[in-house]
Every structure is written in structure tokens, then in C-alpha cells.
Amino acid sequence: MNRVAGPVWQPGDERYDLARSVWNGMVNRRPAAVVACTGPADVAATLRYGAETGLEIGVRCGGHSIAGHAVPDGGLMLDLTPMCAVRVDADRRRAWVQGGALLGALDEAALRHGLATTAGNVSHTGVGGLTLGGGMGWLARQAGLTCDNVASYQVVIPSGEVLTASARENPDLFWGLRGGGGNFGVVTEFEFVLHRLDTRALSVEMVFPLHEAEPVLRRWRDLLPEAPREATLTAWVGTAGDWAHLPSSLRGRPVVNIGYVWIGDPDAGRRLLPALRGAASPVCEVVGDLTYLQLQRREDDTQGYRYRRYWKGHYFRDFGDEVIGRFLALERGPCAPSASLQAYGGAIAEVPDHESAFGQRDALVEFVVAARWTDPAEDADRITEARRYAATMEPFASGAYVNVLNDEGQDGIRRAYRGAKLARLTELKDRYDPGNLLHLNQNIVPSGLR
């Protein structure tokens, strides 16, 4: 690979191990080489080299794909992390973000001008993977998904050609990049629309013992359709940690935590509190003002790199009493996972379904079961428990978020994209990547390779 300007690391090189380590500690694959790309020309040369040699290509931005798709075993890791610059034009309310940047860099650069756009909830997640799959965040109910805020993409398609995709140029590709993942090319730059929003934030959490939580969660569910779009309702079930705000009798016990994140005037946010308190009295309540930037970083440490992880997710169009019962029937035990819910709706649902590849705009709520551990001896039990619990909820699910899919293969793809959408994505794949050079992702298989 002497055709690229950036460095190439191989086993034994000092930077190799750092470059191949990703967020999920379960992923320990060894690429033949890591190509640290510095611009579209490096990306094009790496894609061509992969096509010529048959080396499998993995594309890395933030390295947060739960399945570890960025790291090909024995293949070429196309590492975008050197391409992490963010440029803001405050007058035009636009940000140009290179394809390897992290969300924290986008948030920080935009907020310096009092501007923001929807980004995910953990700042070390990559702009690349998150945006290409959709992009859910605390601003989404006001400003749409992250992908709804992309005005244009600069993309290197598998042939090595550099294209612009926008509503005017290559609109078919623009449609596919809005939710279709990394299937059609490598994005070297995103142009984002920024908003001048009130980015003060309020965080609300109320904790209940598991056995008291059913009426509480029903009340929470009833608020979903009517909640103001500044609010994103959240819920969590799992084992309480050693949380300072919790009575010691509940630490290490199963609890349910309901609440919301409010972006805007915190006093207006507090007006939603009585509605949530209605069903029962929480054992503790934590209500706090914070800045949007603090909010965007507050989970950075708990969502850090040091753990082995397994996830499975569902979308729900309805969240009936039976689903609530199953959500609360999380098994107890040393290998039990935790699970969370996050509200959709608002501006997400207002974008017409046919406008983008993202397939689940009618979701009321997203569910994710998450297992986290350190001892490899627990792998099988942890994964089995998480799968078993997720399976009890699946009959009620309306689909799944492509960015939360893990090891479900084509069954997962069919859950993320319903019939006509999958057919259109397949046509697009046939046009831009008929040989499936970019297949280490949540893969849209070209029709010639089915």
C-alpha cells in the first residue's frame, strides 16, 4: 500500500494494536494492515487495493459498532480517524465534518457559535456510523434524526470515484445514505444543517423498586404521545448500582428508573414533573439542570471502552400492558442484563417515510437490552440471558434500529427495513457496489450475490 499519503500499520508496529481496538471488548480481530487515511484520495486507493487483492475491507470511524464491523480479520482496515476536522460557518448555520470525526467534536464546534444539530448521547461515538444508520439523540424530537440534518455527503464509491450526494446531486445515493448505513461508499465529509436552539437542559430520573413499577410504567407510556417535543422520555430496568442518591436498601436490588431529558428552558421542563409523579412516589428523584455539552458527555465514562458487550434492540409502535409486563420480567441473577427505553416521535415522525432509507419513523419507543461484563468466561451466559429476554419482547416489536443490530444477519436487515424499502436499497447496492466490496456492515446484499 505505497499509494496512500497516510501511514499504514501492520502487526508489530507501535500504533497497530491501538488502531484495531474498538469499543466492544469482545472484538479482538487482527487486520493484515490498518490504512490511516488522510483524505478522499487515500480512501479511493484503499478501496481499489482491496478490490484488486480481495482483502476484506472494514471502515472505521468511532469504532462503536457493537458487532465490531470496523475491524476485518486478516483484511484491510480503512481507518478514517485521522480525518476528524470540523468546520463551522455560523452565518450559514452549516458544519462540514470529516468522515472520521467523533460526535463530541461536532457538538463542541457547533456550540461555540450557539448552534447544534442532533447527535447521539455519548461523545466518543463516531459521526460516521451513527449518521449513516439514522442517528437518534436528545434533539431528535425537535430537529429530526442526525441523517435528517445532512445537507450533502462527499462520498467515495467502491469504484474509487468521488461523488457529492444531496437532494440535487445524485439524489438516489442521498436517499440511501440517509439511514442505509455504510453500504454504498465511504463518506469523507458530511455537511450538516445547524440550528439555533435553546440548548439548556434538564435531566429527570425517578427510581422505583421493581415490584412497584408496573403502574408507573403505564403512566409513563401514556405520556409518550402527548409529551412536548423538548422532552425525550426514558426508562431503564436493571440492578441498581452503588448510586450515591439511592437508599442503601435498594443498592444491588432490581429497580426501574423513569424520567426524561428536556432540551430548552428548564423551568418549562419542570412543569412535566407532576404528570410523571402521578402513579406512585419514587424512592428517590434526581432533577438537575445542566448544559447541553455536559449532557452529551455525562455517559462517556459509564459507556467507556473497557467492557465486553452484547446488545439487542427492538422498535415498538405500541407499548401495551403485556409488553410492559415482559419488560419488567427481566430475570434476576449474576448474568442478568439491563434494558432501556427511549421515546421517538415529534420531528422524527414528520419526515415522510419515502424520503429516506431510514425505515422506522413510526416508532413510538426504542428498546435496547444491554449486557456488560469483563470476564470472558461469562460470555456465553451473558449473551444467552440477553437474547432470551429480548426474545420475550420480540413478538410485539415493529422492527429494529439498524445501528443497534448485532449478529442477526439478514433477519436483522429485514427487521430494520420493511419490504419496499429493502427492495429500493438493494437496487441502489446493485448500482453502486454490485460486487459487495463494502460488506462488513449491516449488509444490503446485491441481487447478483443472493
Q: Which residues bind ligand FAD (CB under 6 A)?
A: 23, 59-66, 69-70, 80, 99, 120-122, 125-126, 128-130, 132-137, 181-182, 186-187, 303, 403, 441
**What residues pair up with 98 in beta bridges, in sequence order?**
189
Structural contact between residues 68 and 261, judged by C-beta atoms closer than 8 angstroms: no
| Run of H or E residues at 395 | none
Taking the CA atoms of residue 221, residue 145, residue 125 and residue 294 in that order, the dihedral angle to the nearest 10 degrees is: -70
CB of 327 to ligand FAD, least distance (A): 20
Distance between CA atoms of residues 357 and 189, nearest Å: 19
Question: Would you say 137 or 254 has its CB closer to ligand FAD?
Answer: 137
Question: Would you say 159 or 273 has its CB closer to ligand FAD?
Answer: 159
Structural contact between residues 310 and 371, judged by C-beta atoms closer than 8 angstroms: yes
Question: Would you say 232 or 239 has its CB closer to ligand FAD?
Answer: 232
CB of 420 to ligand FAD, least distance (A): 23
Structural contact between residues 393 and 325, judged by C-beta atoms closer than 8 angstroms: no
CB of 337 to ligand FAD, least distance (A): 15
CB of 407 to ligand FAD, least distance (A): 14
Sign of CA dihedral 300, 304, 188, 400: negative
Place of cell 455536559: 294
CB of 273 to ligand FAD, least distance (A): 24
Instruction: Specify the length of the chain in residues.
Output: 450
CB of 423 to ligand FAD, least distance (A): 21
What are the C-alpha distances in Å from 201 to residues 273, 274, 448?
14, 18, 49
Query: Which residue, among 259, 250, 156, 164, has the nearest Cα to 210 in the 3D structure?
Result: 250
Q: Which three cell numbers stand for residue 231?
A: 422532552
CB of 184 to ligand FAD, least distance (A): 8
Question: Would you say 59 or 150 has its CB closer to ligand FAD?
Answer: 59
Question: Would you say 124 or 421 has its CB closer to ligand FAD?
Answer: 124
Q: Which three cell numbers stand for residue 103?
A: 460526535
Distance between CA atoms of residues 77 and 423, nearest Å: 29
Structural contact between residues 64 and 125, judged by C-beta atoms closer than 8 angstroms: yes
Taking the CA atoms of residue 402, residue 412, residue 236 and residue 232 in that order, the dihedral angle to the nearest 10 degrees is: 30
Question: Would you say 239 or 443 has its CB closer to ligand FAD?
Answer: 443
CB of 14 to ligand FAD, least distance (A): 21
Question: Would you say 59 or 227 has its CB closer to ligand FAD?
Answer: 59
Question: Would you say 62 or 269 has its CB closer to ligand FAD?
Answer: 62
